[in-house]
Amino acid sequence: MQTTRLPRPQRGVTLIESAVTATVAVIALSTVAPGLRGLIDRQRLEGVATQLATDLQYVRTEAVARNAPLRLSFYADGAGSCYVIHTGSRSQCACSGPQPAACSGGAMQIKTVYLPAGERVAVQASAASILFDPLHGTSTPAGTARVTGTPGAIHHIVNVMGRVRSCSPAPSLPGWRAC
C-alpha cells in the first residue's frame, strides 16, 4: 500500500508578496506626505499666532493689574525671532536664543517666546516695541504684529485703545478674517 503525502500548507509570505506590499505602502506615503507637511506648517503658524494674540491681551491686562506700564518688544536675527513681555524700556531687555531675555537697569522680564529659524515661523512687528499703559489699558504706538510662515501670515493689529484684531492677508488660511 502506498501512502500519498499531501503538500504542507505554506506559512508566511513570499518575497514577491512582501515587495508588492512595500511598494504600495511607499506610493501611499509619498502621496500623503506633502499634504501632511502643509498641515503641520499651518498648525505651527496658527499656534504661534494664537499664542501671540493671547500674550497681547495678557500684557494689557497685566499692566492694569500691576498698575505699572509693561512693554512687548520684538527682536529678530539670523538665528530666529522672539518677543519679550517686560518692564522698563526696550533697550533694557534683549532676546537672543532660547534662554529667557536678559534685562538690565531695573527692568524685569516677565515672559520670553523664542522662535528658531528652523521652525519656519517668525514674528515681526511694525513697531519695535509696544507700551501698555496701566491707567487706561491703552497702547503706544499702535502697530501690527505679524506671524509669518510657509503657508502665509497672520496679522494682529493693535489699536491705540490696546485692542487686538486678527486677520490674514493670505487667502489660503481659511478661518481667519481677510486683511
- CATH code for position 69: 3.55.40.10
Residue 9 vs residues 3, 18, 19, 146, 177: alpha-carbon distances, Å: 18, 18, 21, 66, 64
Residue 11 lies in a domain: no
Residue 1 lies in a domain: no
Residue 115 lies in a domain: yes
Question: What span, in angstroms and rounded, lies between the C-alpha atoms of 70 and 75?
Answer: 16
pLDDT in tens, the chain (179 residues): 667 777 777 677 788 888 989 998 888 877 766 777 888 888 999 999 999 999 999 999 999 999 999 999 999 988 899 999 999 999 999 887 788 888 999 999 999 999 998 888 999 999 999 999 998 889 999 999 999 988 889 999 999 999 999 999 877 688 888 88
Residue 12 lies in a domain: no
HSE value, Cβ hemisphere, 13 Å, CA-based, for 141: 8
Residue 92 lies in a domain: yes
Residue 121 vs residues 74, 144, 146, 175: alpha-carbon distances, Å: 14, 17, 10, 19
How far is residue 82 CA from its own chain's centroid? Answer: 11
Instruction: Give the structural domain span for 100.
Output: 17-167
Assign 143 to helix, strand or coil: strand
